[in-house]
Amino acid sequence: MEQQPAVIRVGDLDFPARKVWMRTYGCQMNYHDSERILSHLGKLNFTATDKQEDADLVLFNTCAVRDLANLKFYSHLGETSHIKKDVVIAAGGCIAQTEGKDLVKKYKQLDFAFGTDVIDNIGEMVYRAYAGDRKFSVTTWDRSEDYSIETKITHGTPQAFVNIIKGCDKFCSYCIVPFTRGREKSRRLEEVVKDVQRLVEFSGIQEVTLLGQNVNSYGKDNGESLAQLLGELQKINGLELIRYTTSHPYDVSDELVDAHAKLNKLANHLHLPVQSGSNTVLQRMLREYTSEHYLQLVAKMRAANPEMVITTDIIAGFPNETEEEHQDTIKLLKAARFDFIYAYTYSPRKGTKSARMTDVLTDEIRSRRLQEIMDLQEDIQKEVRQQMEGKTYRVLVIEKGSYKGQTKWNGRTSCNRLVHFTPSEGDVTDYLWHWVDVEITSTTAFSCQAKFVRDHGKKRTHA
């Protein structure tokens, strides 16, 4: 790692070596934004610390998708009220985009707020704060026609997040994201391919996750498509694995299904949020598909690639959801047999259509329905995972752990399952970031244990 200079001069100011502490809430896009922010701050002589008490700059990258995410941030921000005056405190992300001005007014310790479309200007804003200008909020939208960036990575691993589209035009009736992330805008295919080539060649990246709120809309504005992009990325030598998230079922094209049959670098995993199994609820959510269409898509994907693992998101207790409508979700879960689900109770978001609906459901009903969904899914998951036993999977080792004093390595399969394996006796190899074949020995609904089979080293073509 490069030595941090004692002091650098930027414009009219000296920037001594300083530390930034950052907390990120929400989705992978927000986590990647935080990575971009850290990369920009490096130019102002900041390095990251995980101890808030050591920090000269405290940053929150917020999420507004559910009440719980909001509450966590407000509580953590509240805890910073005693921090000494010379520490700069700022909030960015989705809450800041819509509430930035009010936050700065309400919380005396908050020096500035910045929205989701100005994160590449974080350097200028931090400069401004250190120049003595505090209590401002920047939440402007980038009005340029195109979306052009270069991916920033700071973590030194072979995995990278690559934004390919930002914003969302879908306006599902419950969702705040179109208000916090603005309209859809895609990067040009050629730019993304060059960016990934650069990451592979110069930064040793082997696995990319293409990011967007709705990646299946990718390229619509430029006459390009996700399937096309995946086909081009497949050709990059040294790139082993390609993931993408999140997909909206409405936009899954036959070409994309076909890509899963043809492209061997494409992960055997698709996160395809369904939200509900009831057609009437899906209509009220403005999701633009039916449960039959969704199940057909799942079947097509599995026919294209029998190893395909599908995960989803469910909202329990959408306004006025009847017991029958809830049972339709239960039926869909039984039919689709997901590998994993993210399920939450409905949370009204100010400014969205569904927040204005009169609603007869109580929190109790919502929680009971969520519990039923999770209990059923646990049973399904147990059976789905059991079928892995005895099979061999290639994993990318991402972590070293230990269990009862014994070394355990954690790896992730192409189908996105976390697998734990113990090295053979006397084997002291450092497997971190190796591609390793393992055989699954036992499973539960939430974990997979495996034994070591063979090591492919740090970089081999993904089979």
Distance CA 124, CA 136 (A): 12
| Of positions 36, 40, 66, 170, contacts ligand SF4 by CB under 6 A | 170
> Out of ligand SF4, ligand SAH, ligand F3S, none, which partner does residue 64 contact, by CB within 5 to 8 A per kind?
ligand F3S
Q: Write the DSSP string, 359-384.
A: ----HHHHHHHHHHHHHHHHHHHHHH
In whole angstroms, how far apart are CA 428 and each of 72, 401, 449? 41, 13, 19
Q: What's the token pair of residue 320?
A: 């006025």
Q: How far is the CB of 370 from ligand SF4 (least distance, A)?
A: 18
Q: How far is the CB of 142 from ligand SAH (least distance, A)?
A: 20
CB 284 within 8 A of CB 329: no
Rule CB under 6 A: say whether 214 interacts with ligand SF4.
yes
Q: Which is nearer to ligand SF4, 221 or 389 (CB)?
A: 221
The 81-110 contact track toward ligand F3S, x by CB under 6 A, reads: ------------xx----------------
Q: How far is the CB of 415 from ligand SF4 (least distance, A)?
A: 23
> Out of ligand SF4, ligand F3S, ligand SAH, none, which partner does residue 349 contact, by CB within 5 to 8 A per kind?
ligand SAH
Q: What's the token pair of residue 384?
A: 């789905």
Distance CA 229, CA 233 (A): 6
CB 419 within 8 A of CB 413: yes
Q: Name residue 393's beta-bridge partners.
A: 438
Q: Which is nearer to ligand SAH, 296 or 447 (CB)?
A: 296
- The residue among 128, 129, 174, 151 whose CA lies nearest residue 349 is 174
Q: Which is nearer to ligand SF4, 26 or 100 (CB)?
A: 26
- Residue 267's region, left for phi above 0, alpha for psi from -120 to 50, else beta, is beta
Q: How far is the CB of 211 from ligand SF4 (least distance, A)?
A: 12
> Out of ligand SF4, ligand F3S, ligand SAH, none, which partner does residue 289 contact, by CB within 5 to 8 A per kind?
none
Q: How far is the CB of 180 from ligand F3S (least distance, A)?
A: 5
The 205-244 contact track toward ligand F3S, x by CB under 6 A, reads: ----------------------------------------
Rule CB under 6 A: say whether 172 interacts with ligand SF4.
yes
Rule CB under 6 A: say whether 413 interacts with ligand F3S.
no
Backbone angles phi, psi at 40, to 5 degrees: -65, -40
